[in-house]
Each structure stands twice: as C-alpha cells, then as structure tokens.
C-alpha cells in the first residue's frame, strides 16, 4: 500500500509521526457509457463556459462563487491557513466506544509509525486498548478540517473520518407510523433475531458484483448466463406477521444446517388478538411536533 497522507498524532505533549494508508478498497466493476449507433466512448470533458475551450488540469483553479463574482482560492492560500491540524491529528477527547453513533462514521484509514515514532505509537495503542475507549480527534485532509475517531484494530491504530454534528439531519423529520404490535409478535421477532445471530460476517460477499462479472464474461464469449428466478417484490398488503415470522425462523434454521451454532428460541404460542386500528388523530404533542418539523428548513448533509 502507498501512503496517501503523512503527518503526526498530537497526544497531549506527545507527538507521533505517522503515515496514513487507506483501510478500504472498492471492488466495484466500472461500466462506461457508449454511443448506441457506433459504439463510440462517451467522455466528460472540462470545458470553459466562456470561450468553449477544453482545459487541462494545469489550467484549472478553484474558487468560491459570490454575488459579486468568483473569489479565487489557490493552493498557496490553503497552505497558509492558520490551522493547527494542517499536518497533525490532534486528539481532543477520549470517550466510551458505545457513545459514538455509527451514523457519524465515514472513511477509514490505517495509521503506521516508524523509527523513533514506534514507542509513542505503541503507548497510544495500548492506552486505547486498555481503557476500552476511543479517541476523538481533529485533522485536516483534502482541503478541509475533519473530525476523526481513533481506535485499535488487530494491533493497528485506525482513523475513522466522522461527520460533524451539524452534518447529521434531525431524525424527527422522518414521520414514524403510529401502529401497535403485540407482545407475541415482538417475542417472535426476537426469536428470529436469535436464529440469525452468530453469522460470520467475514464470509459475506458482493453477489451483485459476482453476477455482473459472470454476465460480462458470458457476453465476451458470445453467450448469456443462465437466467435465475428473482424474488417477487414485497407486497404492500397487510400480512399475518406471526405466520411470516414462523416461516422466517424455519428458513433461517434450514440455512444454518452444517454451519455454526446459533442460539435459537422457540416461538411463543400465538394468541388471538383483536385487530387494532391506528388512531385517526395523533396526540396534541405529536401534532405540535409535526407542525414544528414541517416549518423547519432541513440542514444540508
């Protein structure tokens, strides 16, 4: 792997020079656009709106568009910004792992240290590991300051990019259906969850990419892959949840045959319940919250 960034971890008065490596990679199959009539490749070119000329990367700069015109912002301008995190990952807090909401986690990077940086790197790694905490940090990469999370994975310190608090949209903007479910249905759902527990996530793979790869190989050979049955789309009609849960548990048990052990709970005996209809109107508190949400302007993600 090649490092994509180098700098240092600022840990109080301790400075740890590090190199940053991408921790993930994409295996997606890239498809291009072609002209149907003659097979010509369709490309996107950078063309100036003023003179219509196609430009090279050396002829292009960046800027911020305002009401009075575009304000250019050069690489020199960005390098001169008074940013303490320009070449450092500055740890600002240590927090319990469970206090971090997964919705805030972004891209991941491996951090490596060499030479004299090995000892302070190991010091931070063991401090994170023994405290069972993660470190919240600030760092600058690709022209903006970011929030990050440091944790230990297989003896390596990993940096996860994080979204700033104001980048997370308010969940109250999503309308939640006002319906009721029975205790028996909830217990059945928990039994299904127990049946599906213990699966080795390392064995999961991208079935769509594999199918697309087979399609390309077959068409290259002048054939087409064998058609497969696709599952019917989910029905919007009201279904018997208990019956569907019972069937799901049976299928899950069958799929686990020969696999690892899973904790399986028996389904509760179904009881006859009177079908309850959702209230025609929400409570006054919910109505007030809905009106407040409708009038709120969504924040940009």
Report residue 296's pLDDT band, with 50, 70 and 90 as the boundaries.
Answer: very low
Q: Which pLDDT band holds residue 112 (cuts at 50, 70, 90)? A: very high
Which segment of 75-79, 151-155, 182-186, 283-287 scores lowest on mean pLDDT? 283-287
Q: Is the pLDDT of residue 268 over 70?
A: no
Instruction: Give percent of the chain with pLDDT exceeding 90.
Output: 28
Average pLDDT over residues 74-102: 80
Going by the DSSP 8-state scheme, the letter that residue 38 receives in this structure is T
Q: What per-residue confidence (pLDDT) applies to 293?
A: 46
Max avg pLDDT among 94-98, 215-219, 221-225, 250-254: 94-98
Ranking 3-17, 141-155, 233-247 by mean pLDDT, the lowest is: 233-247
Locate all alpha helices (DSSP H) within 43-197, ordered by sequence. 75-79, 118-131, 183-195
Query: Does residue 7 or residue 135 have the better pLDDT?
Result: 135
SS3 69: strand
Write down the mean pLDDT value for the chain.
79
Tell me the two tokens of residue 110: 């491996």
Burial pattern 57-94, b for ≥16 Cβ within 10 A else e, equals eeeeeeeeeeeeeeeeeeeeeeeeeeeebeebbbbeee
Is residue 38 scored above 90 in pLDDT? Answer: yes
The most confident of the ranges 81-95, 154-168, 210-224 is 154-168
Would you state the pLDDT for residue 161? 93
Higher-pLDDT residue of 266 and 249 is 249
Q: Which of 86-90, 94-98, 173-177 has the highest mean pLDDT?
A: 94-98
Helix (H) or strand (E) holding 73: strand 69-73
CB hemisphere CA count around 22 (13 angstroms): 7
Q: What does the pLDDT read at residue 257?
A: 62
């Amino acid at each position: 792997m090649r490092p994509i960034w180098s700098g240092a971890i600022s840990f109080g008065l301790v400075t740890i020079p590090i190199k940053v490596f991408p921790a993930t990679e994409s295996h997606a199959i890239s498809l291009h656009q072609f002209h149907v009539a003659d097979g010509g490749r369709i490309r996107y070119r950078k063309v100036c709106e003023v003179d219509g000329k196609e430009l090279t990367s050396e002829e292009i700069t960046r800027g911020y568009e305002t009401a009075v015109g575009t304000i250019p912002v050069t690489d020199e301008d960005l390098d001169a910004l008074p940013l303490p995190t320009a070449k450092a990952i500055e740890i600002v807090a240590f927090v319990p792992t469970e206090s971090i909401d997964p919705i805030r986690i972004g891209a991941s990077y491996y951090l490596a240290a060499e030479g004299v940086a090995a000892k302070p790197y190991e010091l931070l790694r063991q401090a994170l590991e023994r405290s069972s905490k993660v470190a919240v940090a600030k760092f600058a990469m690709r022209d903006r300051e970011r929030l990050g999370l440091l944790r230990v994975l297989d003896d390596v310190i990993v940096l996860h990019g994080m979204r700033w608090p104001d980048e997370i949209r308010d969940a109250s903007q999503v309308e939640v259906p006002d319906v009721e479910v029975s205790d028996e249905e909830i217990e059945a759902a928990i039994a299904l969850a127990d049946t599906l527990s213990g699966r080795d996530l390392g064995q999961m793979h991208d079935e769509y990419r594999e199918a697309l790869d087979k399609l390309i190989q077959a068409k290259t050979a002048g054939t087409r892959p064998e058609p497969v049955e696709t599952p019917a789309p989910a029905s919007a009609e009201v279904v018997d949840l208990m019956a569907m849960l019972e069937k799901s548990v049976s299928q899950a048990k069958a799929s686990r045959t020969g696999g690892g052990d899973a904790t399986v709970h028996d389904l509760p005996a179904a009881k006859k319940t009177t079908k309850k209809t959702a209230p025609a109107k929400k409570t006054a508190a919910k109505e007030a919250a809905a009106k407040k949400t409708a009038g709120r302007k969504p924040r940009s993600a």
